[in-house]
Amino acid sequence: MSRLGSGLGRLLPFLYAFAAILAAWLFVLGVFRPHVSLLPPPALVAREFWALAVTGELFKHIWASLSRVFSAWCLAGLIAIPLGLAMGRIPRFERIVDPLVELIRPISPLAWIPLAILWFGIGEFGKVFVVLVGTFFPTLISTVAGVKRIDPVLIQAGQVLGCTDRASLFRKVVLPAALPNIITGLRISFGTGWAAIIAAELVAARSGLGYLISNGMEILRADKVLVGMAVIGILGVIFDSIFRFIQKKISWGAA
């Protein structure tokens, strides 16, 4: 009973947001009466959604976008987490790497799209590369912060309890202590990666939700554009909640 209540409570803000968007949409339709190719009515978009879903085309695009984000995000984690752990633990190493990170980090992953196309063409790797850039830095920054924020007294406690070599101290204390921050970094970077893949697909792709949107624009089908946008938003929320759930499980009740 209370579980159902709390589930409903969490869903309620989204229902409210959904209603607000729908109201604004209907308002604009009523006042400005735009052409259907610019802003179609909700019913038409719903029908297009259904059409794309039953033909399986929608899921093909979702799968294309998701698999790109997922592989880039995993790759970014495989590089950024060990690098971040090393930067957090070894000040001398951090002093060498940090300026490089600080210089490249402000460059939006979108700014890498032209280079990615030049280097890798419009094949899969170009898009994975753009998402890799977008997911790498949030993961790295959170990992470094996670290691640096470890209470020094926990390190000392580990040492006097028998973790006298670097390896065991790292495995038994540093890694578990930094884990909640690493998970946060992974959650944030999945979000930035999800934003980056849509942008990359807008420019150079033959599949994916970004392609669905840009193709809809080219053939003057705003209903397709809106279906794509809605799916991007909904999937973004779903993945973020999954990560928040994992985060809650792993942050020892601290968060």
Partner 1 sequence: MTAGGKPISINGLAKTFTTEAGETVEALTPVTLEVAAGEFVSIVGPSGCGKSTLLSILGGLLEPTAGEARVLGEPILGPDIDRGMVFQSYALFPWRNVLGNVEFGLERKGLPRKERRTIALDYLRSVGLQDFATKQIHELSGGMKQRVAIARAFATTPSTILMDEPFGALDALTRRTLQKQLLGIWQEHKKTVVFITHSVPEAITLSDRVVVMTARPGAVKSIIRIDLAHPRDSTSAEFRELERTIYADLDAELAKSIAEEGRTPVVQKT
CA–CA–CA angle 131, 115, 194 (5° rounding) = 15
Would you give the binding string for partner 1 spanning residues 87-106, x where CB under 8 A is met? --------------------
DSSP assignment, residue 107? S
d(C-alpha 84, C-alpha 77), whole Å: 10
Comparison of 54 and 160: residue with beta carbon closer to partner 1: 160
d(C-alpha 35, C-alpha 53), whole Å: 25
Is residue 59 within 8 A of residue 53, CB to CB? The reply is yes
Comparison of 37 and 164: residue with beta carbon closer to partner 1: 164
Does residue 253 come out as left (phi exceeding 0), alpha (psi in the -120 to 50 range) or beta? left
d(C-alpha 193, C-alpha 216), whole Å: 22
* CA atoms 226, 227, 228, 229: torsion sign: positive
- Report if residue 54 touches partner 1, rule: CB under 8 A: no
Token representation of residue 203: 């420019």
- Report if residue 177 touches partner 1, rule: CB under 8 A: yes
- Report if residue 218 touches partner 1, rule: CB under 8 A: no
Judged by CB under 8 A, which stretch of 123-131, 147-155, 212-220, 238-246 contacts partner 1? 147-155
- Supply the minimum distance, in Å, between the C-beta of residue 77 and partner 1: 20
- Supply the minimum distance, in Å, between the C-beta of residue 154 and partner 1: 6
- Supply the minimum distance, in Å, between the C-beta of residue 167 and partner 1: 12
Is residue 213 within 8 A of residue 225, CB to CB? The reply is yes
CB neighbour class for 55 (10 Å; exposed up to 12, middle 13-18, buried from 19): exposed
- Report if residue 246 touches partner 1, rule: CB under 8 A: no
Comparison of 115 and 157: residue with beta carbon closer to partner 1: 157
| 149-168 residues near partner 1, rule: CB under 8 A | 151, 153-154, 156-164, 168
- Report if residue 171 touches partner 1, rule: CB under 8 A: no
Comparison of 68 and 89: residue with beta carbon closer to partner 1: 89
- Residue ranges in contact with partner 1 by CB under 8 A: 151, 153-154, 156-164, 168, 172-173, 176-177, 179, 252-254
